[in-house]
Structure 1
Amino acid sequence: MLKQSSYGFRNDDTSILTLDSIGWQTINSSSYSFSGEDRPDCGHVIFQYTLSGQGYFEYEQQIYPMPRGTGFLAKVPSNHKYFYQTSKEPWEVIWLNLRGDEAIRIWDMIIDQEGSVLRRDIQSPLIQEFWKLLNLVAEEKVTDKYQLSLSVYEWLLSLIQTSGEITKEISANSSSLIQKAKRFMREHCAEPITLDMIAAHCELNKYYFCRLFQRSEQSTPLKYLRDRRMEAAISFLRTTELSVNEIGKVCGFESPSYFGKIFRQYMNMTPKEYRMKKLEFPYDAIYYE
């Protein structure tokens, strides 16, 4: 019967994927805090998953609660931190650390597909394969690096497979999410909206939203927003009697000077010059899709 325990492995073989450490523990002290830039044990990757309670994972200037059913991927060294804050319920976690170029490659691939924070049911193949690996070490007393490497590969395959399934679900939803973001930007382009506001409207993490938008549109959300503002400004210049300053304001540009700077980047002339050059540019609208 498995009990809470942890195991470390040390060898100098860099030719294969190796298990650095594995464990199951309950955390109830606020002194539990690890920074990915300060650790003396570098050169490995981390998977940690919450069985009960809650801890926190900080990555890319955002703090993620880690309740039951969530896990994270991290590389050491890197700019991340995971920690526990004292609460009524301890933080019960399972974790494993791996070494080897293949582990780093797979971590990069999964983080690019899914982000650093993972969501898996406790009955997920990923978690079931973890228990098999821990049992191999704790109960069967396997310490041979090659046998452990083989079992680690099986766990990694379950990580890749489950991430692929989730990525397909995300892909199925991504089109509607991108359209939702575009609609929000078009409808609010005259307002001082921010990337945080757009991502929050889509109920997505800001960094994940940016990656999703760029993969879909080959452009950034803010570039898309600026294009829509420019389209509106060009139309107003030709179809209304509003002043240049008023047009810049109603199209969401923060100041007349900024409006003039951006307009010149797009059209190689000032807004006033465009308004006057009706023969050279006989367009009531220009689109940047």
Structure 2
Amino acid sequence: MRIHYVLPEPMYKHYTGYPDMIGLYSEFPEHQEQRSKGQLQQANLHLVLNGKGYVKDNGKEYSLEAGQGFYYGPGLEQEYRTDPKEPWEVFWVHIAGEGVDRLLNGRGTSSVWMFAYGDLLKLKRLTGGLLELASPYERNEVQLAVKLYELLAELVLSAESLGTATTLDKRARMREAAEYIRTHCTEPLTLLQIAEQASFSTYYFSRMFHEVMGRTPMEWLFECRLVVAKQLLMSTGWTIKQVAETSGFSQSSYFIARFREHTGLTPQEYRRLYNP
């Protein structure tokens, strides 16, 4: 079975990502692709729903099975094929849009990103929803863009890179660390304290946290404190110094400068806007 849709260009040009072509192949033992560098200008995502196949990277062939997938950024050299004895059922989509690299935090930009996703039923629901929306009878560009974003975001948050030392357990621990930072952000936390809480060295913790969360631990700490400060500015009449100290900032001058850098407003201007 081969389902293959070519979609018209969207009327709105600034979606994070939008399907250019989309399809599903199954019981197709001849399926294979080999593209030279620059041949495909769109990103290329494949998700294996059943069976198995192979992806070649730097001369080495990797086996993929149900619940796994691969992503090529725009313009990359590509080579992959199904297993002729156990052909994969594979969902695929070519993606246009300048925001995809940022959403995926750079995955697949210089070489293929291969990954595993633990919830196969959810994967089938998301891909099935995209295929249904891509049908000429159901096509809605806003819903297509939203559903594609949901799928990509789900992969960023929950997929596990293959062929690396990263494990699902470590990714879960990074998310636990992020929650610890959020609930203790008003305290005078240091990177060393947070890393020790997660039982990692500061270097490894910082690298893993950035890979999972898309930001450094201290950037996340600042964002959490900023949320607290905004809430206090909107709900209290406290002085800016009181707001800064209660939010976890030791110096009000630093708080004011970072607040303006992040929001484009001073704390006083923000308060007047949202708590007149």
**TM-score (normalizing by structure 2):** 0.51
The 1:73/1:124 distance shift into structure 2, 3 A limit, reads farther
Q: Which runs of 5+ in 2 are unaligned?
A: 175-203, 209-276
1:137 has 2:126 as partner: no
What is the aligned counterpart of 2:50 among 49, 52, 58?
52
Match of 2:155 in 1: 159
- Does the Cα contact within 8 Å between 1:52 and 1:91 map onto a contact in 2? yes
RMSD: 3.6
The residue number in structure 2 matching 1:15 is 14
Give the superposition deviation at 1:66: 1.4
Q: Secondary structure at the match of 1:93?
A: strand
Choose 1 or 2 for highest CA Rg. 1
Aligned residue number for residue 76 of structure 1: 74
Cα 1:60–1:14 change in 2 (3 A) is: farther
Percent same amino acid among aligned pairs?
Answer: 21
2:93 to 91, 96, 118: 96
Distance 1:127 1:162, change over 3 A: farther
Distance in 2 separating the partners of 1:69 and 1:164:
11
CA contact (8 A) 2:18 2:144 kept: yes
Maintained 8 Å contact 1:69/1:121: yes
Contact 1:8/1:21 (8 A) holds in 2: yes
Partners of 1:53 and 1:77 in 2: how far apart?
A: 27
For residues 164 and 54 of structure 1, the distance between their equivalents in structure 2, rounded to whole angstroms, comes to 18
Residues 49 and 171 of structure 1: CA distance in aligned 2, closer, same or farther (over 3 Å): closer
Matched, 1:37 2:37: yes
Rounded Cα–Cα distance in structure 2 between residues aligned with 1:37 and 1:159: 25
Q: Deviations over 1:91-150 (max 9, x none)?
A: 2211122110111323453459xx711112453534422222212233x82333233212
Residue in structure 1 matched with residue 60 of structure 2 by the alignment: 62
Task: Give, as a single letter, the amino acid of the residue that structure 2 aligns with 1:161.
Answer: L
Change over 3 Å in CA distance of 1:167–1:98 after alignment to 2: farther
Moved more, 77-86 or 163-172: 163-172
CA contact (8 A) 1:33 1:81 kept: yes
**Contact 1:35-1:82 at 8 Å conserved across structures:** no
Equivalent pair of 1:60/1:80 in contact (CA under 8 Å):
no
TM-score by structure 1 length?
0.49
AA matched with 1:15 = H
The 2-side partners of 1:36 and 1:167 are apart by: 32
**How many Å apart are 1:29 and its aligned residue?**
4.1
Listed as ranges, the gaps of 5+ residues in structure 1 are 175-211, 217-289
Taking structure 1 as reference, are residues 74 and 36 closer, same or farther at Cα in structure 2, changes over 3 Å only?
Answer: farther
Q: Partner of 1:130: helix, strand, or coil?
A: helix
Separation in structure 1 between the aligned mates of residue 126 and residue 52 of structure 2, nearest angstrom: 22
Q: CA deviation at 1:215?
A: 4.3
Alpha-carbon displacement from aligned partner over 1:199-223 (angstroms, at most 9, x marks no partner): xxxxxxxxxxxxx89947xxxxxxx
Q: Measure how far apart 1:21 and its partner are.
A: 1.7
In the alignment, the residues of structure 2 paired with residue 169 and residue 152 of structure 1 have an alpha-carbon distance, to the nearest angstrom, of: 26
